[in-house]
Amino acid sequence: MDVLNPYGGNPKGYLSTPGPDRNGEHMMGTTIMAVEFKGGVVIGADSRTSTGSYVANRVSDKLSKVHERIYCLRSGSAADTQAVADMVAYYLDMHSVEIDSPPLVKTAANLFKMITYNNKDRLLASIICAGWDEKNGGQVYSIPLGGSLVRQPFAIGGSGSTYIFGHCDAEYKKGMDQKQCEAFVSKAIAHAMSRDGSSGGVIRLAIITKDGVERKYIPGDKLPFMKDE
């Protein structure tokens, strides 16, 4: 064997060695969640980003700020959702200057809906838009694939959400306070991460109220889920 060229006439022969699939699209195979409470919203997500069967990023941040008190949670194609979030942030900045006040959460959600619906044959983007404004308080809007728009008391999305619909329906209670909503979101996401191969890493939370945004972080070894339960 030629030590300087061990692959002979195929200098890139190492690429044919079996291994994880790294040629897939950069995907936010994920679990995202948001819930309203009196005074604001709690949003949360896992942190795993995959490329095919290869985990490209273990600690990605899927909580994207589009304005001071408005965030979006992204699932689907990482490139598509990042582009849509950037566009909405740009339009909201211009809109807030025009009206000389912070934009409404509903306005941001409608921008997400308009962009995803008008490009539904080109985008793979499912988004949850959540935040707080002076007019309507805390709000959660779901914009699934195709570009429909629905306001919900809580919303879940991503590949991991299919494992926790029953859990969320059983555990959700109308009128929960901030601490209860934090526990609800973190436990639901932890359960999804334990079952879904495309969800994992850490849990990132954000609490959005009239006082601003408080970010929280739960490391992978401190998740509120025990297999013995």
The residues annotated with a catalytic role in the active site are 30
CB 20 within 8 A of CB 53: yes
Query: Which run of H or of E encompasses 204?
Result: strand 203-209
207's tokens: 């609490």
Distance CA 184, CA 178 (A): 10
70-101: burial string, b at 16+ Cβ within 10 Å, e else? bbbbbbbbbebbeebbeebbebbeebeeeeee
38's tokens: 């009196």
Distance CA 132, CA 76 (A): 25
Place of tokens 């979030």: 85
Query: Which run of H or of E encompasses 191?
Result: helix 178-195
Put residue 108 in one of left, alpha, beta given phi > 0 → left and psi -120 to 50 → alpha.
alpha
Distance CA 33, CA 199 (A): 13
105's tokens: 């959460």
